[in-house]
Structure 1
Amino acid sequence: MIKFKANGLKNILLEKSISINKLANDTKINAHVIRSLINDSISISPKNIISLSKVLNASFEQLLLNEFRNPIIIDLKKLDSNQIIQILLLQANFKSLHYKNITSYVEHLMYNSSENFYGDFNFSDKCSNIRKNLLGLTQAQLSSILNISETSVHNWEVGNTRPSFNSLFTLSLMTGFTIDYFFTDGSQLEISSYNLTEEKYSILESIIREYYK
């Protein structure tokens, strides 16, 4: 079980000029608990992570990782397959990620973002495509990495259940995508700025800006 810390909470409150008492009132989280989170003396529960993120309108990466740089957005309707593949290969190199079949992964992404496909990506489809193509894992292998049952992974992919926050966090680290990308439905990819030096972050941003021209 991952023990999360609200590493960015203090900075968020300062930036938004929100008092501890107001935050406690809005989130129904005890003010003493919030003070303890700010002082880094206790872990934060997944329930409180979600509550604080919603009330503060803050990303999970801001709240948990103290990462305030914007994620790098890949708009699937503005880029072609080769451009997306190049960006993902570069991210994998920068973060030492272990991608398996990026081409098949991107082909699936592009199909789901086309006019022929009704609706945005939901988590079940994201999970299946990432597991099978991007990471090249069986349901059994992924369940072993996440320390959960194989049935749990199967249920995610058929849309019966959603993952715990622990699993979402680990998937984020494995793929380099933001926690928020996994938590919400939608067709845009969000590359996490976490674990990127300023130089590498700037390189990715500049390449995407050039592609958008």
Structure 2
Amino acid sequence: METDSSQETPTPPSDGVIYTRWGNDVCPEDAELIYSGSIGGARYTHTGSGSNHLCMPDEPIYDEVTASSVDDGRALLYSSEYEVSNGPSRIRPMHNHSPTCAVCRAPSGRTSKLMIPARNVCPSQEWRLEYAGYLMADYHGYKKSEFICVDREMVPKAGTGEENQNGALLYMTEVRCLAGGGLDCGSYIDGYELTCAVCTI
């Protein structure tokens, strides 16, 4: 008995690790773009909602909705914004802009990903550098947020940066070393912005 091959469902690739490229809305060469958007998170003054950052797609799809007031028992999500006026000169123009993001799948055969803080290279030549950048999170005096690796080739959301929105905020990260501590003052230097790398293998 013959089968109609046009009715067969293609089998999706089983390998190729997925990662988020924070700060850029395109994927590195050879990686597949799953979707792109903008970085969202909880407002810096709020003690609740999430502590993580999300790559929010440009075109959301809603299900059943009930309109509510701002304080009607909901978690709240805001657009993120770069706070880099005192960062390295190459990224200062990004101050107050909303950062973009992309969700990418690394090429077939790569099954593991790793974000390395304080390094802008991969552990060995077997690893592929997907992107390098700066370690960023919210300001230390505000609510906690996760540390993310933001691409050094920052691409802002078009039309942003003219006004200070102050939703979820991204600041450069630096170390406070302590003599005799795990983050040794011989290697780590107070006041230096920390780099990062996202690698796959």
Normalised to the residue count of structure 2, the TM-score between the two structures is 0.22
Find the structure with the greater CA-based Rg: 2
- The structure whose RCO (Cα within 8 Å, separation 6+) is larger is 2
Identify, as 1 or 2, the structure richer in strand: 2
Normalised to the residue count of structure 1, the TM-score between the two structures is 0.21
